[in-house]
Homo-oligomer: A and B are copies of this chain.
Amino acid sequence: MKSSKHIPQLTVDCVIFGFHHKKLKLILSKLKLEKDIYALPGGFVLQEEDIEDAAKRVLFERTGIEDVYLEELGTFGRANRISDEDFQLFSHLAKELYPDVEPPINEKNQKMRLVSIAYYALVDFEKVIPKKIDLDESCDWYDSQDLPHMIFDHREMAEKGLEVLRDNLDKKLLFNNLLSETFTMRELQELYETVYDKPFPANNFQKKILDLNILERLDKKFTGAKSKAPYLYRLKSNLSNKG
């Protein structure tokens, strides 16, 4: 008998953002299929598990880290969000690899509707090496501005993630989640320039951030560059803002 410990028609998917080399990246799996098709990390929600905990579980499986900034993006549940073609490809793969998991098929052997709750997560790129699972040929970081062909409505989710990140990065002061523990003003400025896709003049950007009074200034960072060494900063310890 097949196990049915998960909610049959409900899944979670995660848009996991990292910042590296002035690019906003997100984690995608390349699926074990003939065609090149990519997917966001996701999975079913267990019957006794909070939905956010399901997202945290997926996040931990794929990144190895916990205590991550995580926020819901919304529901992706269009009745026809899964095309017949995508369904065939994916369910074939799933049946092979997870014969014990209840497949999303109804009594008449038709494809069953799936509703997915999408989340976005912000992680320190340096701390994460994406891990593949059985379904994946590979799992890696991809430039959010140059996404490959994605299964189901995963591209819409990624775009919604970008939209919400732009809404919240400054308003909710989330930048520390995308940077390493300590960072220079320039690194922070480059994160803003990437997310908002516009230049921020260094003098006024610095003033704006310092006036917030949420950073502590640490030692200088000497790199050997023949120019003035910048200070390192860290978010004041009482202000961390995990999901």
Considering the chains assembled together, what is the distance between the CA atoms of A117 and B51 in angstroms?
12
Chain B minimum-CB-distance residue to A78: B50
Considering the chains assembled together, what is the distance between the CA atoms of A61 and B16 in angstroms?
39
Q: Is A211 an interface residue (CB 8 A)?
A: no
Cβ contact within 8 Å between B113 and A47: yes
Can you tell how many copies of this chain the complex includes?
A: 2
Q: Please give, as numbers and ranges, the residues of chain B lying within 8 Å of A43 by CB-CB distance.
A: none
Which single member of B7, B48, B72 contacts A115 (CB below 8 Å)?
Answer: B7
Chain B minimum-CB-distance residue to A106: B47
Q: Please give, as numbers and ranges, the residues of chain B lying within 8 Å of A79 by CB-CB distance.
A: 47-50
* Known contacts A8-B8, A10-B9, A10-B10; A77 and B113 CB within 8 A of each other: no
Q: Please give, as numbers and ranges, the residues of chain B lying within 8 Å of A10 by CB-CB distance.
A: 9-10, 115
Q: Is A99 an interface residue (CB 8 A)?
A: no
Within 8 A of B (CB), among A24-60: 45, 47-51
Cβ contact within 8 Å between B78 and A75: no
Considering the chains assembled together, what is the distance between the CA atoms of A79 and B51 in angstroms?
8
Chain B minimum-CB-distance residue to A51: B77
Cβ contact within 8 Å between B115 and A77: no
Q: Is A199 an interface residue (CB 8 A)?
A: no
Q: Is A74 an interface residue (CB 8 A)?
A: yes
Q: Please give, as numbers and ranges, the residues of chain B lying within 8 Å of A7 by CB-CB distance.
A: 9, 113, 115
Cβ contact within 8 Å between A75 and B47: no
With both chains docked as a complex, state the minimum distance between the C-beta of A47 and any C-beta of chain B, in angstroms.
Answer: 6
Considering the chains assembled together, what is the distance between the CA atoms of A10 and B45 in angstroms?
13
Q: Please give, as numbers and ranges, the residues of chain B lying within 8 Å of A115 by CB-CB distance.
A: 7, 10, 45, 51
Q: What residues of chain A have their CB less than 8 Å away from a CB belonging to chain B? A: 7-10, 45, 47-51, 72, 74-75, 77-79, 113, 115, 117
The 8 closest A-B pairs by CB, nearest first: A51-B77, A75-B117, A50-B79, A72-B74, A7-B9, A50-B78, A48-B79, A51-B75
Can you list 27 A-B pairs, Cβ within 8 angstroms, ordered by A?
Answer: A7-B9, A7-B113, A7-B115, A8-B8, A8-B9, A9-B9, A9-B10, A10-B10, A10-B115, A45-B77, A47-B79, A47-B113, A48-B79, A49-B79, A50-B77, A50-B78, A50-B79, A51-B75, A51-B77, A51-B78, A51-B115, A72-B74, A72-B75, A74-B74, A75-B75, A75-B117, A77-B117
